[in-house]
């Protein structure tokens, strides 16, 4: 059996093994990491299969043709191996386009230069032929770009080795066997690259092609034995990347050192450079805002206050090693909908839907605070109790929809008269109340009369008929016997009934 036959069988076994490995990897999962490993297997197949047929070429045309086929795979083997390493160790989150360009630009140029080498001789300075062990050999004299491609391939292999070792140590899963297999595989690949350039022993063969099967065997053993395709590890990285929550890895100096795609969206929204900004300055807690009840140290922050404000819950969990804090994971969750919903619920609980005034619950809670504040400041407090006259007749004669309209209009009159300096509420049905602080008796009486006139003068239209409504008002003032809100309401209610007895549409002050 000739040397060519032995090498051909060796390479064909390698191709079959590589195809099987690709199929096996594809069957385990369909992550991006696994997809890159499949592409790596295909690149190796192009390389080894092309070189096998180059060895068995019987004329010059076949030699050149199969050598070009090899270069569909050769430039991309180390590049894809680095890409797989970056994906596995989760180092491709930031600057993705820049990193991919740095990895694949030189291999792509190499592919083009090899197929057009006859016009510029940048990749091979010259190609000659000789007979060696009854074989026609292609003697490739390296051009300047071949050294660039070799240096690029060597750097890709070494960077990948460093990534896997760092990941093993960082995850606490450092294994001499695992690191030893990866290191051995990388060393053999680098030796193959060097031998291909040096061409020792006077043989014009591709030493990289001879070394690559050993490298692949060691890597396959590492993948299978140490579960590089373990679903748990891949799923953990996948969850980190696709989570709707934003994850930031922050060091002890409060600098952001890693983040996922959701975090990237927030950084873009803030137009922030993570390499320069401190995390705590980007996400300031809202002073006095209730803290989250979730585990860990947490607070709520607001971004872009105003028209399109967003609320975020920030939770911090430390990562300790040997009882020393190394870094922390900051989880930033968009809780805008939750807080907006809470605001709406609080509003519904405190606001009368029909009149858009405060309801009885809000009036009692806020009113007691207003009276208590007046006790401290010494300001005067007045309470106006109001009742729409003969309101039941409006509902009976014109319908409840007209009654609702009367309530709405009266609410607008009250808001226009008392603005935001008073507590204005609908206590129920046709009964309303206004609590004011810091006004004189004359000012209160004037405003009460404004309500009387505004209500009486407003014309309601029902079909072809026009009707008017009136209101009766009772006023009480804080003093002896009316120190609290309940007593103020009792006295104002008494004054209101006196207004009813006096013929309605009037103001009574007690």
Among 180, 209, 236, which residue terminates a domain? Answer: 236
pLDDT tens digits for 35-71?
Answer: 888 888 888 888 888 888 888 888 888 888 988 999 9
Q: Would the pLDDT of 171 be above 70?
A: no
State mean pLDDT over 347-364: 85
Nearest Cα residue to 342 out of 295, 377, 380, 292:
292
User: Residue 293: what pLDDT?
Assistant: 38
Same domain, 372 and 314: no
State mean pLDDT over 434-461: 92
Same domain, 421 and 480: yes
What would the 3-class secondary structure string for 126-164 be? EEEEEEECCEEEEEEEECHHHHHHHHHHHHHHHHHHHHH
Same domain, 207 and 267: no
What element of type H or E holds 194? Answer: helix 176-198
Range of weakest confidence among 209-218, 220-229, 240-249, 332-341: 220-229
Same domain, 22 and 104: yes
Task: Assign 180 a pLDDT band (cuts: 50, 70, 90).
Answer: confident
Tokens in use for 269?
Answer: 């929204």
Q: Is 501 among the domain residues? A: yes
Q: Is 225 among the domain residues? A: yes
State mean pLDDT over 141-161: 89
pLDDT tens digits for 98-132?
Answer: 889 999 999 999 999 999 999 999 999 988 887 76
User: Residue 499: what pLDDT?
Assistant: 93
Task: Assign 324 a pLDDT band (cuts: 50, 70, 90).
Answer: low
Number of domains forming the structure of the chain: 3
Q: Is 345 among the domain residues? A: no
Same domain, 169 and 296: no
Above pLDDT 90, what percent of the chain? 27
User: Residue 488: what pLDDT?
Assistant: 92
Same domain, 228 and 290: no
Domain membership of residue 435 as a residue range: 351-509
d(CA 459, CA 464): 12
Same domain, 34 and 162: yes
Same domain, 483 and 387: yes
Are 174 and 162 in contact by the 8 Å Cβ rule? The answer is no
pLDDT tens digits for 357-395?
Answer: 989 988 998 899 889 888 888 889 999 999 999 999 999
Tokens in use for 197?
Answer: 């350039």
Among 319, 340, 361, which residue terminates a domain? Answer: 340
Same domain, 166 and 257: no
Q: List phi, psi (to 5°) of 472.
A: -105, 140
What is the CATH classification number for the domain harbouring 44? 1.20.1070.10
Are 4 and 10 in contact by the 8 Å Cβ rule? The answer is no
Among 214, 236, 258, which residue terminates a domain? Answer: 236
Same domain, 375 and 312: no
Using a 10 angstrom Cβ sphere, with 0-12 exposed, 13-18 middle and 19 or more buried, the burial of residue 121 is middle
pLDDT tens digits for 185-200?
Answer: 888 888 888 887 777 7
Q: Is 279 among the domain residues? A: yes
Nearest Cα residue to 302 out of 272, 328, 270:
270
Range of weakest confidence among 81-95, 375-389, 425-439, 477-491: 81-95
What is the CATH classification number for the domain harbouring 254? 3.30.450.20
Q: Residues with Cβ < 8 Å from 230, sequence gap 6 or more?
A: none
343 is catalytic: no
Higher per-residue pLDDT: 73 or 219: 73
Same domain, 189 and 331: no
Helix axes 360-377, 485-501, angle to 10 degrees: 110
Q: Residues with Cβ < 8 Å from 287, sequence gap 6 or more?
A: none
Q: Is 260 among the domain residues? A: yes
Other CB atoms within a 10 A radius of the CB of residue 74 amount to 27
Catalytic residue among 430, 443, 456, 483: 430
User: Residue 217: what pLDDT?
Assistant: 78
User: Residue 197: what pLDDT?
Assistant: 74
User: Residue 425: what pLDDT?
Assistant: 93
Same domain, 355 and 299: no
Are 489 and 433 in contact by the 8 Å Cβ rule? The answer is yes
State mean pLDDT over 411-435: 89
d(CA 398, CA 139): 106
Other CB atoms within a 10 A radius of the CB of residue 173 amount to 12
What would the 3-class secondary structure string for 395-422 be? HHHHCHHHHHHHHHHHHHHHHHHHCCCE
Q: Is 346 among the domain residues? A: no
Instruction: Kindly report the pTM of this predicted structure.
Output: 0.48
What is the CATH classification number for the domain harbouring 366? 3.30.70.270
């Amino acid at each position: 059996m000739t040397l060519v036959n032995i090498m051909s069988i060796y390479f064909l076994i390698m191709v079959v093994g590589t195809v099987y490995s690709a199929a096996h990897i594809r069957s385990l999962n369909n992550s991006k990491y696994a997809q890159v490993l499949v592409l790596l297997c295909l690149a190796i197949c192009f390389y080894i299969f092309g070189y096998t047929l180059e060895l068995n070429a019987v004329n010059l045309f076949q030699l050149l043709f199969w050598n070009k086929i090899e270069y569909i795979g050769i430039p991309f083997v180390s590049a894809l191996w680095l890409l797989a390493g970056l994906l596995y160790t989760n180092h491709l989150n930031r600057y993705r386009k820049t990193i991919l360009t740095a990895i694949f630009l030189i291999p792509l140029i190499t592919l083009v230069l090899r197929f057009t080498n006859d016009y510029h001789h940048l990749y091979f300075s010259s190609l000659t032929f000789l007979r060696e062990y009854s074989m026609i050999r292609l003697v490739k004299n390296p051009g300047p770009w071949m050294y660039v491609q070799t240096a690029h391939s060597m750097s890709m292999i070494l960077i990948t080795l460093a990534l896997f070792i760092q990941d093993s140590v960082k995850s606490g899963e450092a294994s001499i066997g695992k690191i030893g297999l990866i290191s051995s595989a990388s060393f053999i690949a680098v030796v193959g690259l060097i031998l291909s350039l040096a061409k020792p022993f006077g043989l014009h063969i591709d030493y990289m092609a001879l070394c690559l099967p050993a490298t692949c065997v060691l890597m396959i053993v590492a993948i299978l034995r140490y579960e590089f395709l373990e679903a748990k590890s891949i799923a953990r990285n996948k969850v980190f990347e696709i989570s709707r929550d934003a994850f930031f890895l922050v060091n002890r100096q409060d600098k952001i050192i890693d983040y996922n795609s959701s975090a990237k969206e927030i950084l873009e929204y803030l137009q922030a450079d993570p390499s320069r900004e401190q995390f705590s300055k980007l996400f300031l807690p809202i002073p006095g805002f209730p803290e989250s009840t979730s585990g860990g140290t947490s607070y709520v922050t607001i971004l872009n206050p105003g028209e399109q404000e967003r609320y975020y819950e920030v939770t911090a969990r430390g990562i300790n090693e040997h009882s020393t804090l190394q870094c922390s994971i900051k989880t930033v969750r968009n809780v805008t909908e939750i807080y907006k919903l809470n605001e709406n619920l609080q509003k519904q609980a405190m606001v009368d839907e029909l009149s858009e005034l405060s309801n009885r619950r809000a009036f009692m809670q806020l009113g007691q605070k207003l009276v208590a504040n007046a006790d401290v400041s010494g300001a005067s407090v007045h309470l106006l109790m109001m009742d729409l006259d003969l309101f039941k007749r409006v509902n009976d004669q014109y319908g409840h929809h007209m009654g609702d309209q009367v309530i709405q209009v009266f609410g607008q009159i009250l808001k226009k008269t008392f603005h935001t300096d008073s507590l204005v509420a609908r206590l129920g049905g046709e009964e309303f109340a206004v609590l004011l602080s810091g006004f004189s008796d004359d000012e209160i009486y004037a405003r009460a009369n404004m309500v009387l006139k505004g209500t009486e003068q407003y014309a309601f239209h029902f079909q072809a008929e026009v009707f008017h409504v009136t209101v009766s008002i009772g006023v009480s003032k804080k003093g002896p016997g009316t120190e609290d809100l309940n007593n103020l309401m009792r006295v104002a209610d008494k004054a209101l009934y006196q207004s009813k007895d006096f013929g309605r549409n009037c103001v009574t002050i007690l």
